[in-house]
């Protein structure tokens, strides 16, 4: 909601009007709508204001959501150990690091400083978790800004264009687009408009676009088969036995190894989100039984309960609404 108007007088005698923004939480935000006929004055004002109010908090990465409330991601605290094949994790992280540290090289070689990475795979395999991880490192190490958009059926070109311009204004920045296939399939955004936005970003700004999708087969080939759109695609599979084993051993540290092995064997085709649910189910059982911890019996009981649900058809984890909204909440 825009409230209040302030008239700013500049020393040159020119002035403009500033409208302040009141958020849905009844807080004044660092967003203003300014009106003036003097662009130079406005730009100076913006530079001064952003220098004055720039708050870089090492512990919190601020994600600007173009069409919804912004999200803060805690860079410390929560145990977010990721289990992925090491080579894949290293590859993603080094590609992202090379992008943000290599600005001069891109410029010297006259290469477009824009790339697109795509994470594809079934629900609950770590695509959003990987984004959170990248946000944390990029915030702390490269002071990168983050912009995203909550894609829904009402998302239109205006909203998407707004996210792109915000990323451009904040560059170097990461533009995060979750559920990419639904963007052109279910929203109001046409394929050509999306391609035009991707291709129309200023070439030297330093914008890394990261998209996710559950349905790679529905992704438009035009997005993948052209450099600077989405030039790298990583597949996030459901974990194999060895990774399930590592995950379970990490999260049930006191458990005997033969039990971990047995649970890892019984959970074939489970996504990480499903394995995560096993932790919750076991914890709830422990509380219900008045046990102070997850015992072997409780873990096996929880596994049997979830396995029967899994086999009854709920093959993949269905993320909660909060997780859907970029999964960043509570991060």
Ligand X SMILES: Nc1ncnc2c1ncn2[C@@H]1O[C@H](COP(=O)(O)OP(=O)(O)OP(=O)(O)O)[C@@H](O)[C@H]1O
Q: Give me the residues that bind ligand X (CB under 6 A), please.
A: 82-84, 121, 123-129, 214, 236, 247, 272-273, 276, 319, 323, 327
What distances in angstroms separate CA 252 from CA 101, 166, 190, 289, 309, one per listed residue?
38, 43, 47, 18, 22
Within 236-289, residue ranges assigned H as helices are 241-251, 257-266, 272-288
Which residues contact residue 325 at a Cβ distance below 8 angstroms, ignoring those fewer than 6 apart?
68, 150
Separation CA 174–CA 63 (nearest Å): 10
Beta carbon nearer to ligand X, 192 or 215: 215
Beta carbon nearer to ligand X, 124 or 172: 124
Question: Hey, is 14 helix, strand or coil?
Answer: coil
Residue whose beta carbon is closest to Mg ion: 128
Separation CA 270–CA 248 (nearest Å): 12
State the nearest-atom distance from the C-beta of 82 to ligand X, in Å: 4
* CB neighbourhood size of 286 (10 A): 17
Q: Name which of ligand X, Mg ion, none residue 116 binds, using a CB cut-off of 5 to 8 Å depending on partner kind.
A: none
Between the two ends of the chain, the Cα-to-Cα distance in Å is: 27
Q: Name which of Mg ion, ligand X, none residue 272 binds, using a CB cut-off of 5 to 8 Å depending on partner kind.
A: ligand X
267 binds Mg ion (CB under 5 A): no
Question: Hey, is 227 helix, strand or coil?
Answer: coil
Beta carbon nearer to ligand X, 144 or 176: 176
Q: Out of 128, 214, 281, 303, which residue is the one contacting Mg ion (CB under 5 A)?
A: 128
Beta carbon nearer to ligand X, 114 or 214: 214
155 binds Mg ion (CB under 5 A): no
Residue whose beta carbon is closest to ligand X: 126
Stretch that binds Mg ion, among 124-132, 138-146, 242-250, 285-293 (CB under 5 A): 124-132
214 binds Mg ion (CB under 5 A): no
Beta carbon nearer to ligand X, 35 or 81: 81
Q: Name which of ligand X, Mg ion, none residue 206 binds, using a CB cut-off of 5 to 8 Å depending on partner kind.
A: none
* CB neighbourhood size of 68 (10 A): 13
Stretch that binds Mg ion, among 30-38, 49-57, 92-100, 122-130 (CB under 5 A): 122-130
Q: What sign results for the dihedral spanned by CA atoms 87, 135, 278, 151? A: negative
- Residues near Mg ion (CB under 5 A): 127-128, 327
């Amino acid at each position: 909601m825009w409230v209040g108007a302030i008239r700013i007088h500049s020393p040159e005698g020119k002035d403009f009007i500033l409208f302040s923004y009141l958020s849905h939480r009844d807080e004044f935000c660092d967003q203003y709508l300014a009106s003036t006929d003097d662009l130079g004055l406005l730009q100076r004002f913006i530079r001064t204001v952003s220098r004055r109010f720039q708050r870089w908090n090492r512990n919190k990465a601020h994600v600007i959501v173009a069409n919804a409330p912004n999200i803060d991601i805690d860079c410390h605290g929560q145990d977010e150990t990721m289990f992925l094949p090491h080579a894949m994790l290293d590859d993603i992280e080094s590609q992202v690091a090379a992008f943000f540290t290599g600005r001069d090289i891109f410029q010297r070689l006259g290469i477009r400083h824009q790339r697109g990475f795509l994470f594809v795979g079934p629900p609950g395999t770590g695509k959003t978790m990987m984004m959170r991880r990248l946000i944390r490192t990029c915030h702390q190490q490269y002071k990168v800004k983050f912009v995203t958009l909550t894609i829904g059926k009402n998302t239109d070109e205006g909203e998407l264009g707004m996210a792109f311009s915000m990323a451009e204004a904040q560059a170097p920045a990461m533009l995060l687009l979750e559920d990419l296939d639904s963007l052109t399939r279910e929203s109001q955004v046409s394929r050509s408009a999306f391609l035009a936005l991707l291709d129309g970003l200023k070439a030297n700004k330093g914008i890394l676009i990261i998209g996710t999708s559950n349905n790679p087969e529905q992704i438009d080939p035009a997005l993948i088969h052209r450099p600077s759109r989405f030039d790298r695609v990583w597949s996030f599979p459901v974990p194999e036995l060895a990774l399930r084993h590592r995950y379970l051993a990490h999260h049930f540290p006191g458990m005997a190894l033969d039990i971990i092995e047995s649970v890892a064997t019984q959970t074939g085709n489970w996504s990480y989100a499903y394995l995560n649910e096993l932790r919750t189910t076991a914890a709830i059982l422990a509380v219900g039984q008045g046990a102070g911890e997850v015992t072997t019996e409780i873990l096996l009981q929880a596994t049997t309960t979830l396995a029967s649900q899994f086999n009854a058809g709920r093959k993949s984890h269905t993320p909660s609404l909060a997780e859907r909204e970029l999964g960043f909440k509570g991060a």
